[in-house]
Structure 1
């Protein structure tokens, strides 16, 4: 007889809904999460590339409960990447990131989806300082922006739906997911696209996770800013290291300066005065 974990793995290879599929992370994950026998249902309000084999596309807003409930029909898991990915005025953050995240969870509940993976952010804990590193998954939130506040709210919504309604919910505090590191700071915070897919695959296939918070980062030589204990407990093992790009970045920008304000807090330039409310 197949084990429960094997049965869950088999079910997880059917239909997965990815919100924000036209965005930066969604675009990177789209080919990396493709599997034989798996359908990726790709949702965004922005135009998407035409569906390929094993794909479906849905043009809808994450704030539209009726459309999201339809999109969740027959889905085994939702990967919620949709939303505003940078700082923005409070009204926009509330509408898209907070109300939109509630809508995704409520649609999943109504449609009977058993698992939601929520793309949270290191900006939930952005005002923690290097003397506190590595930050654990239990570190209290110190958001650095309205955007960071929205991710705190999203984690809270996830916890509510896990405890009240029995959904499996994993919130991933992603650090910096790009094809390659863009700055000296990202030598410490980079999550490679391949490692991002490895982490999502672990979140999709782990048996009965309940509610979890994990960090998303690669095995960077200059890392150690956050703990990967909970991510590894799900089965994640990062393989990539930003050090492969260090010489290129240092040749361009010089050696990292510990006095640079972007190294004062985990949140980097999200903590700088340029993002004060009067500047938005």
Structure 2
């Protein structure tokens, strides 16, 4: 019988034993109703087809995309790991194996991507479909320079190993100069199409990631177009409103406008990885999206993310923090 199962799976060009195991469990459970032996191949094929059809794009199906995550023990990656472990075959890289809380993160492999010797980590990128780049070094200008070098190392290694796409954690700070204009009522909204301007080294480095990514996306590096999605992450926290006060309405507005929930972050990254065509109007596979939820008070545009990858955020900070907002407004009335 096992031979028949394997034959059926081979006929359907399946690559995993998970569906075989599913069938064997089914047969043990329902063997009294099992049809005669001559129909075994038909029955097995039907069951496998049924499981595949009913699960659709199940996160646990075989032939999953192979995704590499840098900075995998960090905060941004940590918000997605649970979902990603179910959806993708992962390769996790970082310079440490513990998260902010000192907890061990399973399956982390150590790699220092600022090292210009790409032979030291190139093997991790072999057979990878997409890279999610979350790694960075914080602090000084020298570290920001190292971050730009790391982005180059990453992009170049991806080209050398035929990685299809990179999804990079950029930041809203890549264009944070415009916030000065927003909070002085000279500007209403910032779009990804605007010239990126920052007034600090952190934002400058993030803009450099983006521009460098565009260079690689054009195909002028080794004749290969490295597909690029740059995500300008907003406020991926639940604490901004807790720390707000009725005395600073602009800070409250920023906290509400920048909010990014976990499930919206996961959706944004998944669609950035999986959307087939991300080419711009000139045929360059490069996009910049703001990473925020569908906030009533948003001041960064997510119109292009909706259009290009079908991003449909489910959360709105005004609803998520309605109770806290009511407290603050009430406190403001009493002053």
Equivalent pair of 2:170/2:209 in contact (CA under 8 Å): yes
Query: Are 2:281 and 1:228 aligned?
Result: no
Match of 2:148 in 1: 98
Equivalent pair of 2:97/2:105 in contact (CA under 8 Å): no
Match of 1:265 in 2: none
Q: 1:169 aligned to 228, 253, 265, which one?
A: 228
Matched ranges for 1:128-167 at <5 A: 128=178, 129-130=181-182, 131-163=186-218, 164=220, 165-167=224-226
Query: Are 2:130 and 1:77 aligned?
Result: yes
Partners of 1:254 and 1:110 lie apart in 2 by 58
Equivalent pair of 1:12/1:76 in contact (CA under 8 Å): no
Which stretches in structure 1 are left out of the alignment for 5+ residues? 1-5, 257-280
Which has the larger share of strand? Answer: 1
Query: Structure 1's 252 and 156: CA in aligned 2 closer, same or farther, altered over 3 A?
Result: same
Matched ranges for 1:118-267 at <5 A: 118-128=168-178, 129-130=181-182, 131-163=186-218, 164=220, 165-179=224-238, 181-182=240-241, 183=244, 184=252, 185-209=254-278, 210-223=285-298, 225-232=299-306, 233-243=308-318, 244-248=320-324, 251=327
Equivalent pair of 2:133/2:169 in contact (CA under 8 Å): yes
Equivalent pair of 1:11/1:76 in contact (CA under 8 Å): no
Query: Are 2:97 and 1:47 aligned?
Result: yes
- What secondary structure is seen at the aligned counterpart in 2 of 1:247? helix
Match of 1:25 in 2: 76
- What secondary structure is seen at the aligned counterpart in 2 of 1:191? coil
- Post-superposition offset of 1:249: 5.8
Which structure has the larger Rg over C-alpha atoms? 2
- What secondary structure is seen at the aligned counterpart in 2 of 1:218? coil
Equivalent pair of 2:214/2:228 in contact (CA under 8 Å): yes
- Post-superposition offset of 1:14: 2.4
Which stretches in structure 2 are left out of the alignment for 5+ residues? 1-55, 99-103, 245-251, 279-284
- Post-superposition offset of 1:66: 2.6
Equivalent pair of 2:171/2:232 in contact (CA under 8 Å): yes
- When normalised by structure 1's length, the TM-score is 0.78
Partners of 1:213 and 1:110 lie apart in 2 by 23
Query: Structure 1's 40 and 252: CA in aligned 2 closer, same or farther, altered over 3 A?
Result: farther
Partners of 1:46 and 1:92 lie apart in 2 by 17
- What secondary structure is seen at the aligned counterpart in 1 of 2:268? helix
